[in-house]
């Protein structure tokens, strides 16, 4: 079974530029999550999708971050404009359905904002 795929793996941008990350969850997984992991911290939930609907985006900085999962499969996370403090690893995870506790994480996208 293929795991969660993410791209790119690394991205370096200058502040005020925009960037987008892509995630393809495990086939059949209805729930998709985006997490932000700053160096030395645990992952922090940004947004959770159930199919193509948003379940929880309470910690998403909506003035600069946006995410979508249009067809209920792949998802993109965008930052526009980026700030220095957005430097982090962005992790995508999926689970079979809500209430299925185990989450499967992708390798992450490491973002450096200069």
Q: Which residues bind another protein (CB under 8 A)?
A: 4, 31, 33, 40-45, 48, 55-56, 91, 93, 95, 98-108
CB of 1 to another protein, least distance (A): 14
Residue 32 or 79: the one with the smaller Cβ distance to another protein is 32
CB of 48 to another protein, least distance (A): 5
Q: Dihedrals φ, ψ of 70, to 5°? A: -60, -45
Q: Is the torsion defined by CA of 52, 21, 92, 107 positive or negative?
A: positive
Sheet containing 5-7, strands listed edge to edge, beginning at the edge strand earlier in sequence: 5-7, 19-24, 75-79, 65-68
CB of 42 to another protein, least distance (A): 3
Residue 10 or 83: the one with the smaller Cβ distance to another protein is 10
| 8 Å CB contact between 44 and 35 | yes
Residue 27 or 102: the one with the smaller Cβ distance to another protein is 102
Q: 73 in the Ramachandran plot: left (φ > 0), alpha (ψ -120 to 50) or beta? A: alpha
Residue 15 or 44: the one with the smaller Cβ distance to another protein is 44
């Amino acid at each position: 079974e293929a795991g969660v795929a993410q791209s790119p793996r690394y991205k370096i941008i200058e502040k005020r530029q925009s960037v987008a990350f892509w995630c393809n969850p495990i086939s059949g997984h209805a729930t998709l999550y985006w997490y932000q992991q700053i160096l030395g911290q645990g992952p922090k939930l940004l947004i959770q999708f159930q199919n193509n609907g948003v379940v929880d985006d309470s910690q998403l900085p909506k003035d600069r971050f946006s995410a979508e999962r249009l067809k209920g499969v792949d998802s993109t996370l965008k930052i526009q404009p980026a700030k220095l403090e957005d430097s982090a690893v962005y992790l995508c995870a999926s689970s079979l359905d809500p209430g299925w506790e185990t989450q499967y994480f992708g390798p992450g996208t490491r973002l450096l904002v200069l």
